[in-house]
Structure formats: C-alpha cells, structure tokens
Amino acid sequence: MRFFNTAGPVRSEEHYHIPPLDRLDLDGVLTLIQQKKYFVLHAPRQTGNTSALLALRDLLNAEGVYRCVYVNVESGQALREDVEQVMRTLLAGLASRARLTLGDEFLGRVWSGILAEVGPGIALQEALTRWAETSSKPLMLLIDEIDALIGDSLLSVLRQLRAGYDLRPEGFPQSVVLCGVRDVRDYRIQSTAENAIITGGSAFNIKAQSLRLGDFPREEVLTLLGQHTAETGQMFTAEALDTVWTQTQGQPWLVNALADEACFRGEFAKAWHRPVSAEAILEAQEQLILRRETHLDQLADKLKEERVRRVVEPLLSGGEVRHFTDRDIEYVRDLGLVAQDRPYRIANPIYAEVVPRELTWVVQEEFEQETAWYVDAEGGLDVVKLLAAFQQFFREHSEHWVERFEYKEAGPQLLLQAFLQRIVNSGGRIEREYGLGRMRTDLLIVWPQGEEKRRFVIECKLLHKSLEQTIATGLEQTAAYMDRCEAEAGHLVIFDRGEEAWAEKVFHRRESAANGAVIHVWGM
C-alpha cells in the first residue's frame, strides 16, 4: 500500500504523489537547458524541490542527449568556511553520484589529485573541465541545498562555476541548476577572507532565470487525496476536503502530513470503511502542532531572526507597513512563511496558528489558570467570566508580561492569546485571523458542548485616535465576523497603550452594532 510522504523525496512506487515534473514548467526548463543556461530553482523547505530535481535528472538521462548528475551539498554546512574541506566533500559527493547514476568512474579517479594539484580555489572548476572534456555527451549538473553553504565556501563554489561558464559545453557543464530555499540574488554572503559582504548576484552573475516551485493548487490537493480513496476505499467528506485545502493552502508537506495523521495515525487509522471528517483533519492539525513536528519547528525557529520579526510583528498586531524592506518580505516569502500575493498575511491558517502559539509557548505554561474555573454546570464555556479574569490579570501584570515577549509591539494580543490558549486548548480550539493593515486581530473560540459546537468571537483592537471611534469601527468589524462565523456572541477587546491611569482604561459594557448584534466591549 502506498502512503502519504512526509520525509524525503517522492518515490512513485511508495507514495501518493503529484508527478514532480508536472509541477514545473518543463518546456521552459528544457528550453533553458538547450540554450546552455545556468539557472536557479528555489522553494521553501519540503515543497518538493529535491523530488523535481531527481525526476529531471532521470528524464534527461533517459532521453540520452545529456549526462546529468544530481548532488546535494548540505553536508558542507557543518564545515563552515573551511573551503578545502567543503571542496573535498563536494567533489567526493559528485564523484559518488556520477558513479551511481552514470556508471562513470572518471571523477572518482582524479578529484583528489586535482585538489592536491591546484588547491581548493580552483579544484571544482578544473574537475568539471576535465570531466566535460572526456564526456561523450554534454554534462548537466544539479546542485541541491546550495544555500546550506556559508561564507567563503559558498563564494568559492559560485565563483568557480562562473569561471568555467565560457567553456561550456565542451569544457564545462552545458547547464547548471542551483536549488535552495532562496533565490541566489538574495544571498548576502559574509566573506571572512575579504572582510566584506558579497551579494549572490555579483558572485553568480551568469544566472539566466529564477524558477520558483509553488504549492499545490486545489485540484492537485484533491488529486492527491483521491489516490488514497482509490487504493483503500476510504473517502474524505466534502467538508474534510475543504478543510485540508483551507488550512494548508496547498503547502505540500502540510497536505501530506494532515492526511497521513488522519488516515494512518489517528483514531481513523486503517478504518478504511469510515470516511475522514473535517473534525479528524482539525484534530490531525492539533497533533502536528503539539508534537512540534520538524517542519513546523524549523519554521518557528525562524521567528527569532530580526528580518522575520520586522515582518511578522506588525502582521500579528494588525499594524501598518513601517519597518520592513522589500528584501525582508522577499526573504519571508522564500521561507514560505508569508503568502506570495497581497495583502501581506501568513501563508496559511496552520502557520498562522503556529506563530502566536510558538511565541507564547513559555508564557502559556506559566499561567496558573485552570479550564474548570470557566466551565459552567452544563459544560459550556463562560467567555464573559474568562475575559473578566483576563482583564484583571492584564491590569495587574501586563507591563511585566509584555516585556517578556520578543515581539513587544504585538505583546497585548499575544498575552490574550496565551491566556485563551491555556484555557481553551484542553477542550476546544481557537481560530485566528490577522494581517498587515487590518487594525485588528480576529479570534474565534469553538467550544464543544454536548453534540453542538458553540462559537464565540473575540475581536482585538489597539486604541486608535478616539475611544468612541475605535469602538464604532470595532463593533461593525466584530458584527461582520460574527455573521461570517455564525457565532452566538461577540466580544470587542480594546487595548490602550497610552499613559492614562488604569481606572480610565478599564471598563466593560454592552453595545449594539448596526445590525442589532449585542457585543461585549472590554477596555484594557
């Protein structure tokens, strides 16, 4: 039986999959190769770039026009800026791949001698030149994880590839593909030897084009899940299919991980007669987040970087564009953290859930609040009691707690989310919507009570201009969100970051929106 792939390249005989070459503009790629171009393929982690490179290698070798070799240089990362050791690792790996893929022993016989003869600064260039001269067909070189190399090691590889460019195809590979998370133009390489920052564009100015491997469109998500149904008979409900698409927006690892968790690991595992429900998909999502799966953990780790913080912090607070540059946004887009199109927003709801939970993880664990305090005799969640407790907590402790957040601009919103997560997570769930320029953060609490699911909206806003104007705008936004979510109650929380006394900031009252909805307004 095939299964959903969450680790390593796709194997068609083992994994449900979308054919990797179907995800490329294959005609465009082949044209670049025919024109002897050097180009870049980049994509976020676990999007399918390695699978695409391996499939391209196999296609080219099967057609017989070129001799194509793939090599992964990630192992050179641990060697840092030791150029000689990186070249030794790269050349040995290339020789091994040539032997295994093409049955070609040439590099294996000569690379160590070349390194000793000419030194690391030209060894790769010379080895590729001698190999191309002896090859019966033009060479193609696919270099994966190129941006795992750092500093002078990365510079040396890029410059040696550039130095042999004019010799192709008789004396150098006809075409080279560099693959990594980012476009080579965005590399800012700290050269210790030159005591300078070198841009990737200047070190590798022979790049003809940059191609980006995107997420699955909705049709491919349905095709992938449909393969499981065809082979096992287990159906996904229409709501489950919609949920997979909505929560992942087609990010390949997330799609595979949700389906794997729901079909093979959860309570539905191997119960092929039972359709996978939307609730099973949401439970799978929660399990992935709680286990801090490597894919999500690596993404969360990026939140510590200053250029990521400059983009994500105003997203969390709903603020305006202020502190980040085009390079910042290009970087977080290349990571897959922020959507490719506008308005600026986190790429998908799962990442949008992971970000605030990661930023508040430690704080959540330190809260002494217990869920039972806020659950009534019928098992319902008393949101008014919950927010009243948070209001008192915020009044007494916010200055201390907000200062503990690395993302202080979004501190009040994060503190509320940490408080709610501590209470709600043991029985219900929180859905979040936030983005740049929205001037608000939307939270939806979904709480099971008997056979029903109760829904409560909490809208967070920073006080902007006058209190009455902020309330008026917030009431309409909260009412609209309630209507869209079919929520039974709405709460508008207004954070005042001014210097006024707490007695002036803190209040709780009921207001009516234009559509007649009664909304609790909380001042803090």
Give residue 114's Cα distance to chain centre. 41
Same domain, 496 and 372: yes
Last residue of one domain, picked from the residues 212, 241, 268: 212
- Nearest to 494, CA basis, from 515, 514, 467, 512: 467
Q: What's the CA angle centered on 35, arms 33 and 38, to 5 degrees?
A: 60
C-alpha distances (whole Å) from 132 to each of 68, 127, 141, 168, 472 are 11, 9, 11, 8, 71
Last residue of one domain, picked from the residues 270, 291, 312: 291
What's the whole-model pTM score?
Answer: 0.91
Same domain, 190 and 239: no
Is residue 302 assigned to a domain?
no
Q: How many domains does the chain have?
A: 3
Domain span at residue 430? 323-523
Same domain, 384 and 497: yes
Same domain, 28 and 60: yes
Same domain, 471 and 340: yes
Same domain, 455 and 335: yes
Torsion of CA 483, 484, 485, 489, to 10 degrees: -20
Same domain, 201 and 264: no
Is residue 316 assigned to a domain?
no
Same domain, 232 and 353: no
Convert the pLDDT of each residue in 153-203 to its tens digit: 999 999 999 999 999 999 999 999 999 998 887 788 888 999 888 988 888
Digit-by-digit pLDDT tens for the chain (524 residues) are 899 999 999 999 999 999 999 999 999 999 999 999 999 999 999 999 999 999 999 999 999 999 999 999 999 999 999 999 999 999 999 999 999 999 999 999 999 999 999 999 999 999 999 999 999 999 999 999 999 999 999 999 999 999 999 999 999 999 999 999 988 877 888 889 998 889 888 889 888 899 999 999 999 999 999 999 999 999 999 999 999 999 999 999 999 999 999 999 866 666 667 899 999 999 999 999 999 999 999 998 999 999 999 999 988 887 665 667 888 998 999 999 999 888 889 999 999 999 999 998 878 877 777 888 999 989 999 999 999 999 999 998 888 888 888 898 889 999 999 999 988 877 899 999 988 777 788 999 999 998 899 999 999 999 888 999 999 999 999 999 999 999 999 999 999 988 889 998 999 999 999 999 999 999 99
Is residue 14 assigned to a domain?
no
Q: What is the CATH number of the domain that holds 270?
A: 1.10.8
Same domain, 257 and 341: no
Same domain, 65 and 189: yes
Same domain, 165 and 241: no
